[in-house]
Amino acid sequence: MVLLQTGKRLATVEFRRLSVSLSDDSVSLLLSESSSSSSSSSYAFPPRKVSECETVTNLLAHTKNLLRRRSAGFAAFDAGLFADSIRHFSKILDGRRRPAPQGFLADCYMHRAAAYKSAGKIAEAIADCNKTLALEPSCIHALETRATLLETVRCLPDSLHDLEHLKILYNTILRDRKLPGPPWKRHNVKYREIPGKLCELTTKSKKLKAKMANGEIGNVDYYGLVGVRRGCTRSELDRANLLLCLRHKPDKALAFMERCDFFDQSEISSVKDRAKMSSLLLYRLIQRGYTALAAAIAEEEQRKKMMVLTQMSTKTVEEHEPVEKSGSITLTDFAEIKPGNSNAYQGVFCRDLAAVGSLLSRTGFNQPIPMKYDAISC
């Protein structure tokens, strides 16, 4: 019995080692028979054909690795480790591997958007919601999340548009008695909860319309959108904008489709159109935010410069301002006095007349200077 248990444990460890090695990131993509036959002319020796058993084994290992990564992302998110959750989902979504099913990728994008939202990265969360909706236009969870994100940064018209789209989806479910889209799309919506959700959406829509009527359309929180703190420097803003532009440029909007195995090939053109439009809107919003924040930072820097110049000028004026004398006279008081000017000493007050005479003798005046003395009672 001990030998059997030991052998079973060793076999399990060996199988785990082999599966992990096969599902590692360094595994190259398997080529189909048609592609291998077309490219065999460029090699001196034709590549070995992969057997059906090996193909199935590699496919199972790849599927196991995807499920393991997704489970790790869920566990990290539930534990509050949002950075680790983002990393696990990014391994699935950004890895150079065999294409994954359309629904699986949409689900991973949606959960990574939730992790980005919890981590406070609004632009990245909106981008993942856009990709989810490009793959699944009727994804209720993605619409709710994007509407909440847009409301957080006070993009009220876009948030209202998503809420109206949600109301249409819920009304469609009530009318057709089923969820829209193919059966493999999971929306996690219960039929009895739809009337309450419609009431909540109606209330939110009224509040947003009231805010828009009060003129709160242009009051967008660009600091939260770009991901910089209030009072940031110009270099911090430029760095954040550069990273966002590299990630969300419209030219890279369709890169995620290369790793997607579409359920229906006729949907590819519509997915491209939705991805291009949503990425372009997000990119323009980021650029408007960068322009507004750059103008605010320049205005704040100019105000600080003006305050510094004002303080320096005030200090200079105070230094050159004449100081009132209260009981003594120094040599500097007579520096600009010319001989013969009898009005120069009117109003000078001093208790010690001997000190005044010594000062006058030191100035080098040759002619006597008439002075007026007043009696002072002490």
Task: List the chain residues with pLDDT less than 50.
Answer: 20-45, 184, 323-349, 378
The predicted model scores a pTM of: 0.69
The torsion region of residue 262 among left (phi > 0), alpha (psi -120 to 50) and beta comes to beta
- The pLDDT, as a whole number, for residue 118 is 92
- The pLDDT, as a whole number, for residue 286 is 93
**SS3 of the chain:** CHHHHHHHHHHHHHHHHHHHHHCCCCCCCCCCHHHHHHHHHHCCCCCCCCCHHHHHHHHHHHHHHHHHHHHHHHHHHHCCCHHHHHHHHHHHHCCCCCCEEHHHHHHHHHHHHHHHHHHCCHHHHHHHHHHHHHHCCCCHHHHHHHHHHHHHCCCHHHHHHHHHHHHHHHHHHHHHCCCCCCCCCCCCCCHHHHHHHHHHHHHHHHHHHHHHHCCCCCCCCHHHHHCCCCCCCHHHHHHHHHHHHHHHCHHHCCHHHHHEECCCHHHHHHHHHHHHHHHHHHHHHHHHHHHHHHHHHHHHHHHHHHHHHHHHHHHHHHHHCCCCCCCCCCHHHHCCCCCCCHHHHCCCCCCCHHHHHHHHHHHCCCCCCCCCCCCCCC
- The pLDDT, as a whole number, for residue 30 is 40
- The pLDDT, as a whole number, for residue 346 is 47
Token duo for residue 194: 């739809």
- The pLDDT, as a whole number, for residue 214 is 86
> Contact, 129 vs 163, CB < 8 A?
no
- The pLDDT, as a whole number, for residue 112 is 94
Q: What is the pLDDT of residues 334-355, one digit of tens each?
A: 444 444 444 444 444 455 555 6
